[in-house]
Amino acid sequence: MEEKLIKDYSSSGRKGYSLPPLEVEKSDLEAELTGYLRDDLELPEVSEVDVVRHYTALSEMNYGVDSGIYPLGSCTMKYNPKRNERVARIAGLTNIHPYQPEKQLQGSLEILYQLKLDLAEISAMDEITLQPASGAHGEFVSLMIVKKYFEEREENRTKVIVPDSAHGTNPASAAMAGFDVVEIASNERGMVDLEALAEALDENTAALMLTNPNTLGIFEEDILKITEMVHQAGGLVYYDGANMNAIMGYAKPGLMDFDLMHFNLHKTFSTPHGGGGPGSGPVGVKDFLAPYLPRPLLKKDEEKYYWDYQRPKSIGKVHSFYGNYGVMLRAWAYIKTLGGRGLKKTTENAVLNANYLKARLKKDFELPYAEDSLHEFVLSGSRQKEEGVSTLQIAKRLLDYDQYAPTIYFPLVVKEAMMIEPTETENIGTLDHFIETMLTISREIKEDPELVNKAPHSTTVRKLDETKAARNPDLHW
Amino acid sequence: MMDYISNTAAEKDKMLQEIGLKEVKDLFQMIPEAVSADERLNIESGISELELMRRAQLQAGKNKSLDQQISFLGAGAYDHYLPGIIDALISRSEFYTAYTPYQAELSQGTLEAAYEYQSMICDLTGMGIANASMLDGGSAAAEAVTMAARITGNSRVLLPDTVNPAYREVIKTYGAGAELEFVDLESKQQIINPAQIEKNINDQTAVVVLQYPNFYGSLEKMEEISKMIKNKKNTLLLVIANPILLGVLKAPADFGADIVVGEAQNLGNGLNYGGPNLGFMACKDDRRMLRQLPGRIVGKTTDVDGKEGFVLTLQTREQHIRREKATSNICTNEALNALMATIYLATMGKEGLKEVGEQCYHKAHYLAKKINGLSGFEVLNQDNFFNEFVLKSEKESTEVFEELLQEEIIVGYDLKNIGENGILVCVTEKRTKAEMDKLVEKLEVL
Ligand SMILES: Cc1ncc(COP(=O)(O)O)c(C=O)c1O
């Protein structure tokens, strides 16, 4: 450990806080709470300076988008604008309680309503809920909507079809909603295999879950045929919106005949990922599914914005309140800053950057699917693997050059996968630097594979033993 | 307008040349015309930072925030003191602009902080294992219920009406997915009668859910109910705890809890209109439970040189490995909020957390005594509450609520919203004597 744990700074009786005096007379807490009291808490006793130095030291052992390129495929790690952070810290917008009367919060509700309208415009969906707090949460909401819809229609549809290239949250969400998951193989071009789809579809099919472009970055060019096939079988089609950065201003899920979808505000709309969260995963639906959206739904009448709780067909709530409002404020600020044209330009540059990287890397690394791709692409490290170095080690070696690694070993359809998504906020300078580093590593693999196999060398800790961590779990101090 | 794109026109041309295309729009030729959007998105043109800030301030001006009035609102979202160092530290962009720590060697800051968070949650709850966060209190409770069903193989859930009604609704949404059966239990005098549990518990019961303190602020008969559950081989006790009060209140583990969850927004996180919040989840140190625990978990290990470090671990429970067989679909969590809670707990320490709890208690009881002295008003919980209580008035609760609003006081959560006549009043350490006295004074003349 480069920096000891906060508890190791502890010294009995040291304090890092102060509160105003109590002012009121004390109750007889000991007597009144007999049997409910404790005296065994062991939280650290440290000073304010200890805390500040410790967490500053930890931050120095971390890497964010502000540190450099973060080419994690499927994660859309774009720059997180500082002005969005300013907006999300305005006391009048944030020091508000979820149960304050709506009449006191018209300013905030109007922001949320504008965000809903803009998301609907971007996606060609009719109604939006902002309640889900992450992409996966939005997936779960969507599948519960599918379930409720068919229950209402008294149709017993138990199956959800998921391509083998899908993100793990897709099948996991389907299972949580009580569906059986049917996986279908992709074809040799990396797209949905229409024959496999036709075979999987039947009267028990509730939905197909699809992202487009898919996780290989490839646009499903038969998309209208796909949605038509599912609809003809009586099923619904769900769009995983993780890849919206690839199509804004160029295509809309609603026009592709998807029935419902989720957005990831923490990907497409620039909100910071916080080292794992918080995110926000709004769900958009076509009109006929709107009655099933979670309660409450934000609405507007002539004079005010309000939460509509009178939703008898709703799937219910999935969050204690209205979702991750602080994240929505940032996404609102982002959309207002860019406007419609800016969003379209975002997509154009995201796709341009990805294609430039691909063009320059595909000679040295295998490109398993030659198909044109959009905002991300997947390389295979299989050639390097034959030379004795796995994709994992290529990723670790990148860290030595102070750059974050791509998503690895996903999607599962590619061996030794490296999924690369530069986003639009990189420029040719940082892309060239990344390319040169990758080419250097490719050369190192030929000349000195051990150097790469033993990476990383220069990080605060070197390669960590994951097997040991799982075998002998040490999960707290 | 600002778009954060920095490739120049000449650079774009060079890149296109490398790709072998003439124009940017050629990159999109595979998209069929029928699905392509109109020429441009119908969203108003972008604005500068100056205009954005003006617009945001304008919206803020249409709100009335808690800075502009006295608030006794709680009911699941709490207004506690936030040490200034929290925002300063989490504003370090190495923390907040990072992704989930997939590359551990370059993410030791996030990982070590998460390990500290898990440790402090174990300390607070008395449990042996904690995960790295859940989306919020409601979804944590719901995922704990489905986890209990998986562990026990049972599907019957005893759900008292003293559990936060919003949580109950979230639990039932998840329960519909997992096809669970719910038995709603009715309370009397703000707590659940243990006889109700005794009557409804059977061998098919997966879990009994208790909130601690409960939605109305009262303490359930934890010990007595826990004993009944322990008599059943295959039934778990799930406790939804308020973490900030665990500096004073006995750890749920000491009442025999098998799983403990809750909302940790009140540990160093602001209100933000109810999100982002912070769900926490902890369970017994038991392999069978650990295998069913949802969410990310950080573990300590060593590197090739024997130096200690941290990684994401036990990932074979998770969606990216197990797909439809995963314990949950959760991927993105509330890591930054967990970091805020960690910094809060480190700053307050055991003394500070205890003092916060005690101040909440004494102040709430001060206010309750004053209210009990007024004619036309009473505190329904009698003496059994911590820092939230139900105010009952001769007048309709909504009338009382609205009249006090005129006086710049939000007296609490109007239980009319859930079909009851009363107001749930919450007192934190932030409320001053003057604020409480003003409330009493206004109540007196209503
Ligand atoms: C394609 C895809 N779908 C769904 C998700 C899940 O989103 P979240 O992490 O917000 O739950 C992700 C995120 O990694 C993703 O890449």
Residues in A touching B358 (Cβ below 8 Å)? 29
Cβ contact A234:A157 at 8 Å? yes
CATH domain A341-467 topology: Aspartate Aminotransferase, domain 1 (3.90.1150)
Residue extents of the structural domains in chain A: 6-59, 83-337, 341-467
pLDDT value of residue B287: 94
Contact A251 B363 (CB under 8 A): no
Percent of chain A at pLDDT above 70? 100
CA–CA distance, A211 with A243 (Å, rounded to integer): 7
Residue-averaged pLDDT of chain B = 97
Stretch A224-242: mean pLDDT, rounded?
A: 98
Tokens 């609907």 correspond to A120
CA–CA distance, A404 with A395 (Å, rounded to integer): 8
What are A76's two structure tokens?
């859309």
CA distances B137 to A294, B114, B266, B303, B392, Å, are 17, 18, 11, 35, 27
Contact B89 A100 (CB under 8 A): no
Q: How crowded is residue A150: how many other Cβ atoms within 10 Å of its Cβ? A: 18
pLDDT value of residue A142: 98
**CB-based contacts of B54: which residues, under 8 Å, 6+ apart?**
none
A427 interface with B at CB cutoff 8 Å: yes
CA distance A47 to chain B (A): 7
Q: Which of A34, A17, A20, A22 is nearest to B365 (CA)?
A: A22
Residues in B touching A356 (Cβ below 8 Å)? 15, 18-19
pLDDT value of residue A54: 98
Stretch A317-340: mean pLDDT, rounded?
A: 98
pLDDT value of residue B307: 97
Percent of chain B at pLDDT above 90? 96
Contact B2 A96 (CB under 8 A): no
Residues in A touching B176 (Cβ below 8 Å)? 144, 147, 178, 315-316
CATH class of B85-343: alpha beta
Contact B60 A107 (CB under 8 A): yes
CA distance B33 to chain A (A): 9
pLDDT value of residue B40: 72
The minimal CB distance from A277 to the residues B57, B335, B350 is found for: B335
pLDDT value of residue A194: 97
What are A325's two structure tokens?
């409002």
pLDDT value of residue B1: 87
B73 interface with A at CB cutoff 8 Å: yes
Map residue B160 onto helix, strand or coil.
strand
CA–CA distance, B40 with A169 (Å, rounded to integer): 32
Ligand 1 atom closest to the CA of B332, numbered from 1: 9
**pLDDT of B38 above 80:** no
Around ligand 1, the residues with Cβ closer than 6 Å are: A 74-75, 134-136, 167, 169, 211, 215, 240, 242, 264, 279, 281; B 331-332
Task: Using the Cα atoms of residue A180, residue A147, residue A130 and residue B74 in order, give the sign of their dihedral.
Answer: negative
The confidence band for B241, taking pLDDT boundaries of 50, 70 and 90, is: very high
pLDDT value of residue B295: 97
Cβ contact B427:B412 at 8 Å? no
The confidence band for A1, taking pLDDT boundaries of 50, 70 and 90, is: confident
Q: How far is the CA of A246 from the centre of ligand 1 (A)?
A: 15
Domain B66-82+350-444: which CATH number of 3.20.20.30, 3.90.1150.10, 3.40.309.10, 3.30.470.10: 3.90.1150.10
The minimal CB distance from A51 to the residues B15, B21, B347 is found for: B347
Q: In this predicted model, what pLDDT tens digit does every residue of B271-303 receive, in sequence order?
A: 999 999 999 999 999 999 999 999 999 999 999
| Dihedrals phi, psi of B282, to nearest 5 degrees | -140, 150
**CB-based contacts of A34: which residues, under 8 Å, 6+ apart?**
none
Q: In this predicted model, what pLDDT tens digit does every residue of A62-97 receive, in sequence order?
A: 999 999 999 999 999 999 999 999 999 999 999 999
User: Which chain B residue is nearest to residue A317, measuring alpha carbons?
Assistant: B170
Residues in B touching A359 (Cβ below 8 Å)? 18-20
B280 interface with A at CB cutoff 8 Å: no
**pLDDT of B202 above 70:** yes
Q: In this predicted model, what pLDDT tens digit does every residue of A190-206 receive, in sequence order?
A: 999 999 999 999 999 99
Torsion of CA A73, A75, A81, A83, to 10 degrees: 170
Q: Which one of A14, A33, A43 makes the best mutation probe of the B interface by having the most chain B beta carbons within 10 Å? A: A43
The yes/no answer to whether this complex scores an ipTM above 0.85 is yes
Nearest Cα residue to atom 16 of ligand 1: A74
Nearest Cα residue to atom 9 of ligand 1: B332
The minimal CB distance from A41 to the residues B35, B59, B247 is found for: B247
The minimal CB distance from B314 to the residues A256, A404, A473 is found for: A473
Which stretches within B62-164 are classed as H helix? Answer: 84-90, 93-96, 108-125, 137-152
Encoded amino acid at A121, one letter: E
Q: In this predicted model, what pLDDT tens digit does every residue of B173-183 receive, in sequence order?
A: 999 999 999 99
CA distance B258 to chain A (A): 17
Contact B59 A80 (CB under 8 A): no
Tokens 């004074």 correspond to B441
Residues in B touching A344 (Cβ below 8 Å)? 40-41
Residue-averaged pLDDT of chain A = 97
Contact A23 B77 (CB under 8 A): no
Interface of A with B in 269-328 (CB under 8 A): 270, 272-279, 281, 294-295, 315-327
Ligand 1 atom closest to the CA of A166, numbered from 1: 1
CA–CA distance, B173 with A144 (Å, rounded to integer): 8
CA–CA distance, A46 with A43 (Å, rounded to integer): 9
Stretch A387-414: mean pLDDT, rounded?
A: 97
Classify A266 in phi/psi space as left (phi over 0), alpha (psi -120 to 50) or beta: alpha
Contact A404 B329 (CB under 8 A): no
Q: How far is the CA of A376 from the centre of ligand 1 (A)?
A: 14
Residue extents of the structural domains in chain B: 66-82+350-444, 85-343
The confidence band for A359, taking pLDDT boundaries of 50, 70 and 90, is: very high
B374 interface with A at CB cutoff 8 Å: no
Nearest Cα residue to atom 10 of ligand 1: A135
Stretch B23-44: mean pLDDT, rounded?
A: 88
CATH domain A83-337 topology: Aspartate Aminotransferase; domain 2 (3.40.640)
A188 interface with B at CB cutoff 8 Å: no
Stretch B189-215: mean pLDDT, rounded?
A: 97
Cβ contact B124:B246 at 8 Å? yes
Helix (H) or strand (E) holding B312: strand B308-312
Nearest Cα residue to atom 5 of ligand 1: A135
**pLDDT of B37 above 80:** no
Stretch B69-98: mean pLDDT, rounded?
A: 98
